[in-house]
Structure formats: C-alpha cells, structure tokens
Structure 1
Amino acid sequence: MGLFDQILGSVTNSNQPGGLGKLVSIANTIQQISDSTGTDSSTMQSILSVVGKQVHSSLQTKQANEGTEAVENLVNQFAGTSPDSQAVDSLFSPVIQQQVAQIAADRTGLDPALIQQLLPSLVPLVLNFLQSGGNPLLNKFLDADGDGDVDIADAIKLASRFLGK
C-alpha cells in the first residue's frame, strides 16, 4: 500500500491517527501561515517539500542511531500546530537550518531569513502529520527501502484537496 493510499485510509478512519480532524487542523494552520506571510499555496508546498525531506532525513538518521522508539518519542514530543523552536533544534543543527532555508529560498524566491523564521511553525506540523506510535504513516515515512519518493508537501496537498482547501 502506497503513502497516498494510507493517507486516504487515515482520512476516512477518524479513529486512526492522522484522521480527518488532525488533517483539518494541519491544513488550517498551513493556510494561516500562508496568509500571514503572503505566500500562495504553491510556494508553501515547495517550502514544505524541502522541510519534509530534511525531517525525513533527520528521522532516518535518528532511527539508525537510536532506534524507532526514539523517533516515535521525538515525533510525539514535538508534533503540534503551534510554533516550537525546540522541535527544529532537536532535528536540525544550525547549519542544517540555514541550508534548509536556503534551498527553500532558491526554489521559491522568498528570503531565506523568512523561511528560517517559519521552521518552528512548519516542523511541528510535519511531525504532527506523522504523530503517534504505530502510525502506518510514520512507518511509511521512515521506510528505508530507498524509493526516495516520500514528499510531505504532496501529502499535505492531497489532504487539502480532499478537505476542499
């Protein structure tokens, strides 16, 4: 079963982590961030793509070094819809934060400083999307089969379309 099939299954099963209520909350928060920064949805998806890929890489490294339980604990600790600079610092060194902001800036034309300021809002959203122990979305996100196709922005875009956002 692919990532998008799992997302759709999560959306239709309100008892499963990642259900409709959580997706609505995430999509609404992303829309608020987009509105407050004056960015369109395409720009926000590009930023989320960059952030999601770096979160993916950081979580895979953490899993390899500390195990899946450590990853689940980190996701559960920092997932949310409120800004949290500790979430960013837990996953990214200051150098990586700058690199993520620069890559996203190169893709979007936005100021890297603005993107770096958004990281404390975006990282908890990505983690919120993955939250809860045993969540098949988290397991798929951390899938080490090397297909390289995991893109959180695509997942958020799909969820937003499903929700009519």
Structure 2
Amino acid sequence: MQACLKILRSIRHILFSISAILIAFATAVATLNAIVRFFGVSFTWAEELCSYGIVLMVYLALPYLEGAGDQLTISAIDLWVKGETGQRILRYIQGIITSVVMVILGYHGLDVMMKAFRRSQVTYVLQIPRGALYAIVLVCIAVAILTWVALMLFRKGDYDE
C-alpha cells in the first residue's frame, strides 16, 4: 500500500517537473522568436513547438494536481458541507466523477492515438508523430486515474500532499 503510493507520488513529481521544464522552454522559445523578429528573422517552428509544449504541460501536471487536491473544484460546495465525513464523501464523489470522465476521455483518446499511428500522421512543421504526442497524454490520464484510485483505496479520500 505505502509502496504503491510512493511510486505514484514519484511518478507524479517527475511528470510535474517535466511540465515545469516544458513551460519554461516554451516561454524561452517564444521570447527568443519575438526578439529575433525585430531583426527580420523568424523561426517557423517556434509557434508549433510552443503550442505542443503548453498543451503537454497541462496534461503532465494533471496527475500531480489531482493527487495534491489543487485541481479546480467548486468551493461553494466545500464551504456548504461542514465536517470531515461530509468533506470525505465529497472527495470520493469528486474522485469517482473525475475518474469516469478520464476513462471516457482515455477511451476516445486511445482510438485517436491508434488512428494517428496507423495513418503515420505527423505535425505540420516539426514532423513529430502525432501518435506519440497522444500517447503521452494517455499516460498522464492513466496516472491521474490511478492516483484517484489510490487516494480512494489507500488514503481514504484524503489528498496525498
């Protein structure tokens, strides 16, 4: 039980660190591209790279945010429900709804990913295989689902951080 939580925590921290690196990299590339435009030069690949970096950053941060309880919630409901038992029930409901939505998203994402691999689809400028990008997203969704399952089973609905 503790080993499972520790492994998931490590994976979440690694994904979150990669997310932070991606946002820093995307910011640096976008800034560099804006500066060199003053000199009449432009990197045609910069916007595409920044876009993919920012989108992947969101998915890479998802498991960490779900596990730490830092994801968006409806605060009015949290304020309305008093007591630890009521809060725990709300967290279970949130975990179940989030997991179901992510399973649906993952199911359809798997279909899109497989089609992208079969068709050998690549991005426009950088020629990155789209299936690989979709696979990263699916891994992040799977880790977020596993995080919620672990929180509900091993932490009794309490957040990990």
**Which bin holds the TM-score, normalised by the shorter protein?**
0.3 to 0.5
TM-score (ref. length: structure 2): 0.36
TM-score (ref. length: structure 1): 0.35
Higher relative contact order (CA 8 A, sep 6+): 1
